[in-house]
């Protein structure tokens, strides 16, 4: 299944081989990867290289290291295919305005779907994320991760895995920019207000209101992100 890799970019080759095994179904969701020692021997690389590859796969949400138990596959072959599509569509060097414009197209639809399909558990998770956001804001803590968590939870509630993966990719690309924006000048409070409006609409099951709330929320964030710059368009 596995073969020795070139030392030059060893960890990248390890990552590619494991992704291929997941994509072809040789490694399935919840399968345990071979031990670090076994991977080191199979790939003919150092433990440092294996660890770097595992960290990379974890950042891609393809595997998860569980303390004391080993490393397990989180993704199915279908998940990897969707992620490959995301990687092909979006790149770190893409213009942020273009990336954000795509968010404005996708996320209002996600909010609408969430209002229609969210379960009681989904609504509970969204509400808990908003409550944690509010608590962190009141205590002066960083809220970026909670802000991100809300959008990802909403995407899961929409019950559309393709949209969820695409939003995940888009948010990851915007993360560095959002860190500075969300934490400054009371802007975290504005983000929280937007999330509350979206949550209320989802609770009511009002698809139209949820979509409008998300659109209004994203337009507000867009103004903060690209203040003084031409945005991604104002057509309605």
Q: Where does residue 46 fall: left (phi above 0), alpha (psi -120 to 50 degrees), or beta otherwise? A: beta
Structure tokens at 132: 């944690």
More confident residue, 153 or 7: 153
Q: CA 128, CA 161: separation in Å to the nearest integer?
A: 22
CATH architecture of the domain formed by 91-225: Up-down Bundle (1.20)
pTM of the predicted protein model: 0.60
Fold of 10-78: Arc Repressor Mutant, subunit A (1.10.10)
- Lowest mean per-residue pLDDT among 14-23, 51-60, 125-134: 51-60
Is the pLDDT score of 78 beyond 70? no
3-state secondary structure 147-181: HHHHHHHHHHHCCCHHHHHHHHHHHHHHHHHHHHH
147-201 confidence digits (pLDDT tens) = 888 998 999 999 987 787 777 777 766 665 555 455 555 678 888 999 999 999 9
Q: What percent of the chain has pLDDT over 70?
A: 75
Q: What average pLDDT does the chain have?
A: 81
Q: Domains of the chain: which residue ranges? A: 10-78, 91-225
């Amino acid at each position: 299944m596995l073969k020795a890799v070139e030392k030059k970019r060893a960890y990248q080759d390890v990552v590619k081989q494991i992704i291929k095994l997941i994509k072809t179904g040789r490694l399935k969701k919840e399968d345990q990867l071979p031990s670090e020692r076994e991977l080191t021997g199979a790939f003919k690389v150092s433990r440092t290289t294996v660890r770097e590859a595992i960290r990379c796969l974890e950042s891609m949400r393809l595997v998860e290291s569980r303390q004391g138990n080993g490393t397990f596959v989180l993704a199915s072959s279908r998940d990897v295919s969707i992620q490959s599509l995301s990687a092909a569509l979006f790149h770190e060097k893409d213009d942020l305005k273009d990336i954000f414009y795509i968010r404005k197209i996708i996320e209002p639809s996600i909010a609408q779907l969430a209002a229609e399909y969210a379960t009681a558990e989904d609504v509970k998770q969204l509400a808990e994320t908003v409550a944690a956001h509010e608590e962190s804001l009141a205590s002066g803590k960083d809220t970026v991760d909670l802000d991100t968590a809300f959008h990802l939870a909403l995407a899961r509630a929409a019950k559309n895995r393709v949209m969820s993966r695409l939003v995940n990719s888009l948010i990851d690309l915007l993360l560095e920019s959002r860190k500075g924006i969300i934490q400054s000048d009371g802007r975290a409070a504005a983000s929280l207000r937007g999330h509350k409006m979206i949550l209320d609409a989802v609770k009511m099951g009002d698809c139209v209101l949820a979509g409008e709330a998300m659109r209004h929320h994203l337009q507000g964030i867009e103004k903060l992100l690209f203040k003084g710059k031409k945005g991604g368009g104002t057509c309605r």
